[in-house]
Structures are given as structure tokens and as C-alpha cells.
């Protein structure tokens, strides 16, 4: 069955790229509502923005949603990953600014709040998107692919010149609270050499050494170092779950990413839905539902989250 939150949860912080302060309230929503963002600071245009792959624009380094009136919400991937990873299908997310707060650079704060209040089952059947045949996109040495699988699996490969990151690979089956335990506390990261370039392009204006892992060659410059030796690839998997959640329903399939980012995952979803023979919507059986992210999440899992 579908699920929503038992009560509203609230967050305050700054946008990673805008640098602007923002308050975000995540409210329970009715069955079949889906995930929607509401810009409470916008009164002269449609302020409702649906969390759906077709609303994603071309903004670099994050996923930004925009409605037909040009009202947008950016950096949605971390809250989308938290909702998907905790099994929340319906929610209204109100913000008084243009960007989701970055918090400490991952989904941990969102996950902790969701798990603490808990989920409420709703009187509506949960449908999933079953991948029927392989779909792949490639670009400049990067690749993203969806293939059939009984649940959601994520397999990710990255490679960076900085030795502090280097070459990393991880593959996980996302059932039984895996996201909460293994990925939710892994932070966004960047190379020190790229910070000036991002600032020159109006990006990462709210970034600090406390809400992102900054590396420079062999060195990790952020206080406290890494939370995981392979924190970088874990964060890329977190991002992938958040971007895949924009499909509009849970996915039954295996996602493989090689140096992939937000834009490539969005292109993959667009290619999937452009070919009706490559997928189908299915009502989840109890066995299928048990293989989805969010099922099996326990409060005890929070002890493993930084």
C-alpha cells in the first residue's frame, strides 16, 4: 500500500548553490497525491511544482524542477532520496525559497526526521515501474543503464584524478533499509580545484567545508575527514536514488551508473518512458513491495547514521 508521513517535519538551512536561507516543511498528503513542492514565497504565479522527471531542467550539478510558469525548486535529490529510501510515496513539501536546504550535504537529517515520526499506510494500492528490457544512455565516457531486476538495485562506478577519491565501485540491493544504513549519511563532494569555477558560474554559493566533502589531491580538507572510505561513490548512489524517485513511482530494475550524474539519470528516465515496450506499471504484490527501498526501515537503523 502507499504511505505518507504521520505528521509534518520541518527543516531550516541554506541552499547549497543559491546560498539563500530557506525553511522547508514536509507535510503528509492524501493517497495518490505523489510528491509536490510548493513555493510559499511565490504569489504571482503557479507555485506548485511536481516532483517528476519531465519537469527537470538543464541546471548543472543538481536536479532542478520547473513548472509551466517558470517557478522552480532546485537540489531536490537529497530529500527525494530520503522519501524514497524511507518508503514515503505522498507528501507536500513547502519551501520559502528556491532551493532545498543542503543541511550537512546528505540525506541524514531528512531520514532521521522521517523515521522518528514514522510512516502511515494509506488505502491505495502501490504501483511500481517494472523495467522489461535494457535501456541505456552514453555520453563523453559516462553511461547510465536500467535493466530488469526483481527489486531496486544500484551499481555505481566513479573515477576522479584526486587520490582522495580515485576509482570507487559499489553495488547494493536497496531493500530492508539499505539506503538508511549504507548511503543516507554520505555527503556531496567536490574538488578544491573546481570551487572557483563553480563560484564564477553562480554555483555552490552556500557550500562550506561542513556541508560538502572537499578534496585536494591526497587530502580531505573537510573537518573530521570521511565518514566512509568510499563516501564519494555512496553519495553518487544517494543522488541516483533521488533522481530515480522522479520517475513518479518506485522502480523494479537495476540501475548501473559509470561516471553518471543528475543529467544523465534524467536522460535515462526520459528514454525509458519514450519506449512503452521497455517498462510497465504493475500493482505491487507483497513480495515485490518487500524488495523496494523503505520497507524494513527501523528506528534502530538510525544508530548507524552519522
Contact 282, 166 (CB under 8 A): no
Rounded Cα–Cα distance for residues 122 and 55 (Å): 26
Shared-domain flag, residues 101 and 132: no
Look up residue 156 and give its DSSP letter. Answer: E
The residue out of 76, 103, 121 marking a domain boundary is: 121
The pLDDT, as a whole number, for residue 280 is 97
Shared-domain flag, residues 73 and 195: no
Residues at the binding site for Zn(2+) are: 78, 235, 239
104: containing domain: 3-121
Contact 210, 104 (CB under 8 A): yes
Rounded Cα–Cα distance for residues 303 and 296 (Å): 15
Rounded Cα–Cα distance for residues 190 and 165 (Å): 10
φ and ψ of 119, to 5 deg: -105, 150
pLDDT at 50 over 90: yes
How does pLDDT run across 235-248, given as a tens digit for each residue? 999 999 999 999 99
Rounded Cα–Cα distance for residues 228 and 241 (Å): 19
Smallest CA-to-CA distance from 294 within 116, 151, 175, 182 is with 175
Q: For the residues 171-183, what does the mean pLDDT come to?
A: 94
Q: Which pLDDT band holds residue 110 (cuts at 50, 70, 90)? A: very high
Which alpha helices (DSSP H) does the chain contain, by range?
77-85, 108-117, 178, 192-200, 231-244, 262-274, 286-289
How does pLDDT run across 18-47, given as a tens digit for each residue? 889 999 999 999 999 999 999 999 999 999
Residue 1, classed as helix, strand or coil, is coil
Shared-domain flag, residues 139 and 275: yes
Comparing 35-49, 254-268, 285-299, which segment has the lowest mean pLDDT?
A: 285-299
Shared-domain flag, residues 67 and 198: no
pLDDT at 306 over 80: no
pLDDT at 301 over 90: no
The residue out of 121, 155, 186 marking a domain boundary is: 121
φ and ψ of 180, to 5 deg: -60, -45
Shared-domain flag, residues 208 and 225: yes
Sign, Cα dihedral of 168, 266, 206, 103? negative
Shared-domain flag, residues 67 and 180: no
Shared-domain flag, residues 12 and 104: yes
Shared-domain flag, residues 144 and 81: no
In the chain, the percentage of residues whose pLDDT exceeds 90 is 78
The residue out of 121, 145, 167 marking a domain boundary is: 121
Q: Which pLDDT band holds residue 57 (cuts at 50, 70, 90)? A: confident
Q: Which pLDDT band holds residue 195 (cuts at 50, 70, 90)? A: confident
pLDDT at 258 over 90: yes
Residues at the binding site are: 78, 235, 239
CATH number of domain containing 237:
3.30.1700.10
The pLDDT, as a whole number, for residue 106 is 96
Contact 53, 266 (CB under 8 A): yes
Residue 67, Ramachandran bin (φ over 0: left; ψ between -120 and 50: alpha; else beta): beta
Shared-domain flag, residues 100 and 204: no
Contact 105, 129 (CB under 8 A): no
Length of the chain: 306
Residue whose grid cell is 565516457: 141
Shared-domain flag, residues 240 and 212: yes
Contact 235, 189 (CB under 8 A): yes
Q: How far from chain centre, in Å, is Cα 274?
A: 22
How does pLDDT run across 63-109, given as a tens digit for each residue? 999 999 999 999 999 999 999 999 999 999 999 999 999 999 999 99
Question: Which three cell numbers mark 58?
Answer: 538543464
Tally of CA atoms within 13 A in the half-sphere of 280 that contains its CB: 6
Shared-domain flag, residues 172 and 269: yes
Q: Across the chain, what does the average pLDDT equal?
A: 93
Number of domains in the chain: 2
Strand partners, 13: 22
Identify the active-site residue in 17, 89, 157, 262. 262
Rounded Cα–Cα distance for residues 35 and 114 (Å): 15
CATH number of domain containing 84:
3.30.230.20
Rounded Cα–Cα distance for residues 130 and 284 (Å): 10
Shared-domain flag, residues 191 and 285: yes
The pLDDT, as a whole number, for residue 235 is 97
Mark whether 89 is an active-site residue.
no
End-to-end Cα distance, the chain: 30
Rounded Cα–Cα distance for residues 248 and 127 (Å): 10
Amino acid at each position: 500500500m502507499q504511505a505518507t508521513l504521520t505528521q509534518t517535519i520541518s527543516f531550516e538551512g541554506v541552499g547549497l548553490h543559491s546560498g539563500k536561507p530557506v525553511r522547508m516543511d514536509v507535510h503528509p498528503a492524501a493517497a495518490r497525491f505523489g510528491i509536490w513542492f510548493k513555493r510559499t514565497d511565490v504569489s504571482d504565479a503557479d507555485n506548485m511544482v511536481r516532483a517528476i522527471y519531465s519537469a527537470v531542467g538543464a541546471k548543472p550539478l543538481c536536479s532542478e524542477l520547473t513548472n509551466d510558469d517558470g517557478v522552480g525548486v532546485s537540489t531536490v535529490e537529497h530529500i527525494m532520496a530520503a522519501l524514497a529510501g524511507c518508503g514515503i510515496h505522498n507528501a507536500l513539501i513547502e519551501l520559502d525559497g528556491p532551493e532545498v536546504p543542503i543541511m550537512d550535504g546528505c540525506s541524514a537529517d531528512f531520514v532521521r526526521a522521517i523515521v522518528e515520526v514514522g510512516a502511515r499506510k494509506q488505502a491505495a494500492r502501490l504501483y511500481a515501474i517494472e523495467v522489461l528490457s535494457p535501456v541505456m544512455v552514453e555520453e563523453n565516457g559516462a553511461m547510465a543503464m536500467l535493466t530488469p531486476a526483481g527489486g531496486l538495485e544500484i551499481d555505481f562506478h566513479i573515477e576522479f584524478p584526486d587520490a582522495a577519491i580515485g576509482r570507487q565501485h559499489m553495488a547494493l540491493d536497496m531493500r530492508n533499509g539499505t539506503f538508511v544504513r549504507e548511503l543516507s549519511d554520505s555527503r556531496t563532494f567536490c574538488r578544491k580545484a573546481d570551487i572557483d569555477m563553480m563560484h564564477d558560474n553562480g554555483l555552490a554559493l552556500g557550500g562550506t567545508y561542513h556541508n560538502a566533502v572537499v578534496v585536494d589531491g591526497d587530502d580531505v580538507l573537510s573537518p573530521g575527514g570521511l565518514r566512509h572510505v568510499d563516501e564519494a561513490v555512496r553519495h553518487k548512489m544517494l543522488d541516483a536514488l533521488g533522481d530515480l524517485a522522479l520517475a513518479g513511482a518506485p522502480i523494479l530494475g537495476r540501475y548501473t551508473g559509470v561516471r553518471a550524474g543528475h543529467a544523465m539519470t534524467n536522460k535515462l528516465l526520459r528514454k525509458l518512458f519514450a519506449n512503452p515496450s521497455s517498462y510497465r506499471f504493475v500493482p505491487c504484490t507483497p513480495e515485490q513491495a518487500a524488495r523496494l527501498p523503505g520497507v524494513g526501515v527501523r528506528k534502530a537503523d538510525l544508530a548507524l547514521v552519522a
